[in-house]
Structure 1
Amino acid sequence: MREHDANTTWSSLNDANKARAGVYVEFFRSIEQRFGRDAAIQVTREALYNWGRSLAGGLDRHLPADFAGLCKSFAFAPDGGAMFSPDVSRCSDRELDVHFKTCPLKSAWTEAGLADQDIELFCSLAAAADYGTLEAAGFKVDIETWKPGGDGCCRLHITAP
């Protein structure tokens, strides 16, 4: 692929992820307005978890101990790491620890002027998709999402069940 085509593709993919961030906010706010904040949190988290489960296809091939493969297939997807800037601190035959330094969702919420507390909430909701993906593939995952004053975005600790 030519460099211009690759840049255009990356930009389109990044923009699509930022648009997804906007959809999360609009759905959440509509649910919150109609049914209250607690219901909005619960429904949004459930929907994103279920959507994430649909993205698990093929990741189970890395069970039980191919965390290097999982790193490539998950942490560095979809573009070799450009979009999420993964910083892998541990990748062994038992676990994978990765800190995503950038995130188009978080960037979109920041660019939209959301308060830090709202960005923190939406990061925690968005993590449900990763929980769904990795758990559906058979992995155990613990995610520490971004908090105000923190660097980068989320940190994932992934192990075999």
Structure 2
Amino acid sequence: MIDNKIRIQGDAVVDIQRGAIGHRATWTGLTYTKAREAGKAAEAEKIIREAIVETGKIQGAQIKTQCREPENVACFTETFLTPNVEKTFEIEFTNKTADRVDLEFHHCPLLKAWQDLGFDDATCEKLCDMAMDGDRSIAKAVGFEFYLGDTIAKGGKTCQMSYFKKGK
């Protein structure tokens, strides 16, 4: 059972950002589910994943140019995960060094949009994994490794992610 709680409420910027992220998730979710209804789930998943990977590459390249210390994982995450993003996803950093950052997301606005559309847990989990291709590609574009542990979409309490230098 997916439990995607919201603790931070009533913050105008966060609410706007969650709305925009939810709108993007709605497009992706409906594209996938409509293709699935038409018997084209595999083709749609491939295309959506390719688009998300490409988006991650573009975003990762932008982050790398904006980061004052692009070899520093903590600096990368500070550039990527701005204070508003931290509040939007209710992020908790469990480790933050120049070599590795471990964090937990306590809320996901993408998942909320899919839940609001009435998608079952398996569909939410599939869409979540597709969306995570963006984070995987961002890390790769910057030159870091990425690890995804448990996720809210899989029924976890949080989404557990790590960005780290190779071998760390």
TM-score of the pair, normalised by structure 1: 0.82
CA distance in 1, matches of 2:141, 2:11: 32
Distance in 2, Cα, partners of 1:27 & 1:137: 29
Does residue 45 (structure 1) correspond to residue 45 (structure 2)? The answer is: no
- In the alignment, structure 2 segments of 5+ residues that lack a partner are 1-9
User: Is residue 13–residue 84 contact of structure 2 (8 Å, CA) maintained in 1?
Assistant: no
Structure 1 stretches of at least 4 aligned residues deviating more than 4 Å after TM superposition: none
Give 2:95's aligned amino acid.
R
Supply the distance in 2 between the matched residues of 1:22 and 1:59 (Cα, whole angstroms): 29
Across the two proteins, how many residue pairs are aligned to each other?
A: 153
Give the partner amino acid of 1:70: F
Asked if 1:69 is matched to 2:75, the reply is: yes
Residue correspondence of structure 1 range 23-42 to structure 2 within 5 A = 23-34=27-38, 36-42=40-46
**Which residue is equivalent to 2:162?**
157
**Of the two structures, which has the highest relative contact order with CA contacts closer than 8 Å and spacing of 6 or more?**
2
Deviation digits for residues 103-136 of structure 1, max 9, x if unmatched?
1101111222211111111110110111122211
Q: Residue 45 of structure 2 aligns to a residue in which SS?
A: helix
Residue matched to 2:115: 110
Is 2:13 aligned against 1:9?
Answer: yes
Q: In the alignment, which of 130, 134, 155 is matched to residue 135 of structure 2? A: 130
Identity over aligned pairs, percent:
20
Counterpart in 1 of 2:6? none
| Residue type of the alignment partner of 1:148 | K
> CA contact under 8 A between 1:97 and 1:156: conserved in structure 2?
yes
Structure 1: tracts of 5 or more residues without a match: 1-5
Displacement of 1:100: 1.1
CA deviation profile, 1:12-62 (whole Å, cap 9, x unmatched): 221111101101112213443456222222221111111121212133644
